Amino acid sequence: MNAWTSLFSALFIVIALVLISWLGVGVAGTSLFGIVIPYIAIAIFLLGVVARIVQWARVPVPFRIPTTCGQGKSLPWIKADNLESPYNTWGVIGRMALEVLLFRSLFRNTRAELWPGPNVTYASAKWLWLAGMLFHYGFLIIVLRHLRFFIEPVPSFVEAISSVDGFFQILLPTVFISDAIFLIGATYLFLRRVKIPQLRYISLPADYFPLFLLLGIAISGVLMRNVWKVDLLAVKQLALGLVTFHPAMPEAAIGPIFFVHLFLVSVLLVYLPFSKIMHFGGVFLSPTRNMANVNRMERYVNPWNYPVKVHTYEEYEDDFREKMKEAGIPVEKE
Amino acid sequence: MPKPEDLLIDTDLRTMPAKPWMETRANFRDGTYSFPGAPKNLKYLGLANPREWSPTDEDWKLPDNWQEIILKGFKERLEKYRSFRLFMDICVRCGACMDKCHFFIGSGDPKNMPVLRAELMRSVYRNDFTTMGRLLGRLGGARELTIDVLKEWFYYFFQCTECRRCSVFCPYGIDTAEVTMIGRELLNLVGLNINWVIEPAANCFRTGNHLGIPPHGLTDMWEFMVDDIEDLTGVKIDLPVNKKGAEILFVTPSGDYFADPGTYTCMGYMMLFHELGLDYTWSTYASEGGNFGLFTSHEMIKRLNAKIYAEAKRLGVKWIIGGECGHMWRVIHQYMETMNGPADFLEEPVSPITGTKFENAKQTKMVHITEFTSDLIKNGKLKLDPSRNDKFRVTYHDSCNPARAAGLLDEPRYVIENVCNNFFEMPENTIREQTFCCAGGAGLGNDENMEMRMRGGLPRANAVRHVRDKHDVNRLLCMCAIDRATLTAMMHYWAPDVEVGGIHELLANALIMEGENERTLDLRGEPFKEEEESEDV
Ligand code: SF4
Ligand code: SF4
């Protein structure tokens, strides 16, 4: 598939989704988009995520294969690096925490360049790390902020997040700071994919689609709050109805932009368990990162280890006995 | 071979082919692929489909149902290896790994980007094992397993040295080497393998070592070394072979028995053990630690590795020391005990000289020689004269496997710093866990593949050239027998004037032995002091 086909096919699908919901609400009614589809989406999401994780977790890990990124534990006077080459559970937890919370491996990133000579040089390349942090943390804050719609009374930490987030709104009138952070991160990730030739070459529709979908969700959210304002009270009514299993469409009408937003979120939820976005679950199961480097210290058992055909010493001696005797090598049988 | 300055003239990391990668075919260009496994070797090991064939042939003489065999094998492995299953699913194609592979840097071939190397398999995975892929086809990144795809697998999985450098940078720890290993296993199911892997594997199986030297041949070679040591030092050392009841079994890569510069390292071990009066033994049966099964299949790893514990048991030793070898240590560290353990007939290793317990090896009962030696040095048990190595300006190559599979980084450095006075590190992006491969591991260190080796070796050699120009480095140390062989050719090509050697070679130069003559020659028979004394230390 051509690089541009990947990009545009993903873009078209997202545009189609926007149109379906924008126009569909008028035709099929709000309860389909406001109640039925979100319920189906959440069910598929929950079942799907659990099924995927169970599917992975059921596959055995026959060998302990951590990638060691630092000095392993050996002699007492050699300083072992418990975070990069963990030798106990704390080390593993620390390593995973660094990885999951701070994207440790991406922080290491460098860019290799080839010069005439030939010469290779490596430059620090932390932009991907930074964009990844903005993107994921922006997303996290947005999700947490949304809890205000689903929980009554609103938990204080959600209030706190919202007010800190909104505080900067004075400076930046149209978006929450977290929205901006998220949009900047996502836009960078998109541009990077298009601009770096190698990355464009390897990108599939499955790489562009989630980005466009998330961008669509963020943009429709921003529009809904700042441009085509919707009745937030009505939205909250609907959301509370959904989480308490008393779904009902609120009396007050909610503008179609809200249903676009909600529909795109539903699509994301459905898509997620079947896509690369599952990396959020997979990273915890990754054997190169979540195992301690204690291979020579502790016994490890492979559940499907089986006997194999070997060349035994007896067979070996039978092959070479005379020669061994001549050479003065001790043998078992004379 | 083109001249070094011309080799990469058309190589560019940023220009991608116009055609999408799914539609390009592997181009078997001379100098970039390895010759196929000879039928006799396959037969000896009982592997599938032994026959004469060549990668440049149109017809690879595969079994009729080859597709079925591969897909069945694929499914089996998805159910047996979580690593494999996960690595098929969670790559986000972020590209953090794309310029981390020495073969990509040296060839500019996008399919040598680790991410794309793995995608060669993921595309088939999606097509045959995922719902999305089945539904969406090409749009979902899926493609059918055709003969061209299979040929592409062969080309690119035998263009990966399984060095794991890419895995260090991946945010999920995706280890393309794992994918390559499984890829090679699948290829083996239909008789696709390379001779530089299969012949050593067959030899190891039959004779215990990879060049197929029979026991009496080994003792001949060892005795040569003993004689050389006597000539150089005046010390006649004894060499215990297959000695029952010895305390320690010593296992090392057989590469060190028969080719310079490995032989000097081997003499180094002999001198060290003699000087210590160690109660140990060599073995003709377990005369090879290197395990070419690692480049064939997990099953073959186990078949070849089994002899080490078996021999330890037969000889009744207490524990084992392993020499300077790369993939041998990957196997010992990651697989041996799981496959062929528990080693409960052995005792937890304790150095008889210093009394140090090697806690980190209490389960496998196998200690790395640099762990053993650095402990000796730390405890002041060796008399060393590092000035004997003053003519060497030394740098150190972290061999990939001990570095990224075992985390052995500081022990070798400690030994080096104590046996020579001039040690210079290469730039930090190229050492320790970020070390670059010699480009000749995993069975690719053959002559027909020379162009690819030189291309892939550029990042390593470039870093050596850097310290050569900056610090006049003239000796590259490493602790892997494959490295000692392949880096020699590499240096000759990219960084002339830098010679390659092992750590225990320099140790033995510096080692003051009891009853030795006035030593004037190093292990290579060259004077310790160069003719004209340079005063720039
Ligand atoms: S770094 Fe990991 S996730 Fe990113 S492209 Fe490479 S293998 Fe995939
Ligand atoms: S394991 Fe090494 S050779 Fe293989 S793709 Fe990764 S970096 Fe390249």
ipTM of this predicted complex?
A: 0.94
CB contact under 8 A, A329 and B458: no
Contacts of B314 in chain A (CB under 8 A): 313
Whose structure tokens read 């969670």? B90
Average pLDDT over every residue of A253-275:
94
Average pLDDT over every residue of B281-301:
95
B407: left (phi over 0), alpha (psi -120 to 50) or beta: left
The answer to whether B11 and B108 have CB atoms below 8 angstroms apart is yes
Task: Check residue B255 and give its pLDDT.
Answer: 87
pLDDT (tens digit per residue) in B9-40: 889 999 999 999 999 999 999 999 999 999 99
CA of residue A193 relative to chain centroid, distance: 17
Length of chain A counted residue by residue: 334
Task: Check residue B535 and give its pLDDT.
Answer: 53
The answer to whether A279 and B90 have CB atoms below 8 angstroms apart is yes
Average pLDDT over every residue of A269-283:
94
Whose structure tokens read 């379906």? A20
pLDDT (tens digit per residue) in B451-468: 999 999 999 999 999 999
The answer to whether B253 and B323 have CB atoms below 8 angstroms apart is yes
Task: Check residue A1 and give its pLDDT.
Answer: 67
The model's pTM is 0.95
How far apart are the CA of A36 and the nearest CA of chain B, in angstroms?
23
pLDDT (tens digit per residue) in B72-93: 999 999 999 999 999 999 999 9
Q: B173: Cβ below 6 Å to ligand 1? A: no
Percent of chain B clearing pLDDT 90 (strictly above):
92
Task: Check residue A162 and give its pLDDT.
Answer: 84
Q: B91: Cβ below 6 Å to ligand 1? A: yes
Give the pair of three-digit tokens for residue A87: 């030798």
Percent of chain A clearing pLDDT 90 (strictly above):
79
Contact residues for A233 (Cβ-Cβ < 8 A; gap 6+): A250, A252
The answer to whether B316 and B242 have CB atoms below 8 angstroms apart is no
Q: How far is it, in rounded angstroms, from Cα B357 to Cα B454? A: 42
pLDDT (tens digit per residue) in B494-503: 999 999 999 9
Task: Check residue A75 and give its pLDDT.
Answer: 96
Q: How far is it, in rounded angstroms, from Cα B277 to Cα B297? A: 39
CA of residue A231 relative to chain centroid, distance: 33
Task: Check residue B91 and give its pLDDT.
Answer: 96
The partner residue sitting opposite A330, judged by closest CB among B242, B298, B311, is: B242
Q: How far is it, in rounded angstroms, from Cα B480 to Cα B501? A: 10
How far apart are the CA of B528 and the nearest CA of chain A, in angstroms?
31
Determine what percent of chain A falls in helix, strand and coil, rounding each to the nearest 5. Answer: 65, 5, 30
Q: From the CA of B106, how far away is ligand 2's center (Å)?
A: 12
Average pLDDT over every residue of A181-187:
95
Is the model's pLDDT at A157 over the cut of 70?
A: yes
Nearest to B42 by CA among B257, B216, B199: B199
Average pLDDT over every residue of B406-416:
97
Amino acid at position A68, single letter: T
Task: Check residue A171 and give its pLDDT.
Answer: 60
pLDDT (tens digit per residue) in A38-96: 999 999 999 999 999 999 999 999 999 999 999 999 999 999 999 999 999 999 999 99
Taking the CA of B102 as reference, the closest ligand is 2
Task: Check residue B537 and give its pLDDT.
Answer: 47
Residue B475, strand partner residues = B394, B499
Amino acid at position A25, single letter: V
